[in-house]
Amino acid sequence: MRSLLVTLHRWLGLFIAVFLFIAGLTGALIAWDHELDSWLNPAFYHTQTHGDMQSPLVLANRIEAANPGMQISYLPLGLEPGEVLSARVETIDGSDPQFNEVFVDPYSGQLIASRLWGEFSLNCENLIPFLYKLHYSMHLPNIGSLEFGLFFMGIIGIVWAIDCFVALWISFPNLQSWRKSFTFRWKQGGHKLIFDLHRSGGVWIWGLLLMMAVTSISMNLNYQVMRPVVAQFSKLSPSVLDMRSQHLGETGLKRVSREQIVQEAKAEAERRGWQSPAGGIYFSGLLGLYGVGFFEPGMGHGDGGLGNPWLYFDAFDGKLVGENIPGAGSTGDIFLQAQFPLHSGRILGIAGRVMVTALGSLIAVLSLTGIIIWAKKRVSRNRIFKLAFV
């Protein structure tokens, strides 16, 4: 049995090792994506202009007027002093855009820059988005309507989760030698230390590795895998996609303005007694849906806890159609809400992001040491094979 599991671990590990090495290193970096992007591209985030800050809603209308065929898909509603307005845009007809992110000076209204977020490029302005997309899709091309990179890395997550249990089993061959699975032979060095870094290193952080594997499945295959599995154990509230599936591709109806939706959202938040301001508005033409999130300026990622509350409105009649309230709902709802905060480390704020950076680096080390161990054993087997026929 053990021999079979060792073989299974070897081949499962080899299948995912290169991808986890890349995902580990990129994950360690993108835990600080905003800070690194700001450092590389300060003009995208900070302005020296002074005066009265213009309303993001007014600036959004100007952006759309200056770019016929484009529409705002995400707009921050609150900015800190000296902060540049960064908005996401998309084509109205769903075609591939030349850019999907714009940066506007909120004081002068001047367009500072635009870029295609996630573009395959190592230029300073594109490096962090490139690494972010590399992390979750390896930049693999789509196949028809299938986001193949997203799907493939979801499969990697599933294999990784299975291999976590296989690796744990073979790390403890018997009760008498369990201490060995927690020790590192630092003084002996060489292959013994490499082996210990792989085995004992994996044992020490096994729970975190499994958490990252499971949350990666949620990030990439949420509707295809995670929600159906969780639904077997806990009742789930309808998702936004479930609520709006009948509106997919609906066209020809007049859209309610962003301004009206923001007012509706603020009124609803006041009725609920929420204290945080409306921090951002999202629009999906495919779903015919607006979403308004409530958070302070600079807290769009929802650092600390399960994220920010969101209200969803029909884009054609302005009626409230759904909500996502952190910590509310069934056990399954809360489990799903925790997936991104856990995967990114943001559930613990700065400390969690530091942990994710360290964990991503360790995942890369485990992947590399696994390949080295396999390569050394392969060389040894080849030598034995050759000697047998000399």
φ, ψ (nearest 5 deg) of residue 333 = -60, -45
The C-alpha atoms of residue 291 and residue 77 are separated, in whole angstroms, by: 12
Are 119 and 126 a contacting pair, CB within 8 Å? Answer: yes
The C-alpha atoms of residue 327 and residue 167 are separated, in whole angstroms, by: 33
Average pLDDT of the segment spanning 263-275: 97
The one-letter amino acid code at 50 reads H
Mean pLDDT of the chain: 92
Residue 71 has pLDDT above 60, yes or no: yes
Any bridge partners for residue 292, and if so which?
281, 311
Residue 181 has pLDDT above 90, yes or no: no
Residue with tokens 């690194």: 36
The contacts of residue 175 (CB under 8 Å, 6+ apart) are none
Nearest alpha carbon to residue 24 among 202, 204, 221, 226: 202
The C-alpha atoms of residue 360 and residue 21 are separated, in whole angstroms, by: 9
The C-alpha atoms of residue 18 and residue 183 are separated, in whole angstroms, by: 26
The pLDDT assigned to 298 comes to 84
The C-alpha atoms of residue 59 and residue 12 are separated, in whole angstroms, by: 51
Binned at pLDDT 50, 70 and 90, residue 253 comes out as low
Alpha carbon separation from 332 to 147, 226, 227, 237, 360 (Å, rounded): 26, 10, 9, 9, 27
The C-alpha atoms of residue 300 and residue 187 are separated, in whole angstroms, by: 47
Residue 390 has pLDDT above 80, yes or no: no
Write down the domain spans for the chain.
1-28+136-236+333-390
Paired tokens of 151: 């799907």
The pLDDT assigned to 248 comes to 58
The pLDDT assigned to 37 comes to 97
Task: Summarize pLDDT for 84-127 with one digit per residue, the tens.
Answer: 999 999 999 888 899 999 999 999 999 999 999 999 999 999 99
The C-alpha atoms of residue 143 and residue 25 are separated, in whole angstroms, by: 26
The pLDDT assigned to 13 comes to 94
Residue 165 has pLDDT above 90, yes or no: yes
The pLDDT assigned to 311 comes to 97
Task: Summarize pLDDT for 311-362 with one digit per residue, the tens.
Answer: 999 999 999 999 999 999 999 999 999 999 999 999 999 999 999 999 999 9
Any bridge partners for residue 85, and if so which?
104
Average pLDDT of the segment spanning 121-137: 97
Task: Summarize pLDDT for 35-67 with one digit per residue, the tens.
Answer: 999 999 999 999 999 899 999 999 999 999 999
Binned at pLDDT 50, 70 and 90, residue 385 comes out as very low
pTM above 0.85, yes or no: yes
Are 283 and 72 a contacting pair, CB within 8 Å? Answer: yes
The pLDDT assigned to 188 comes to 86
- H/E stretch holding 198: helix 190-204
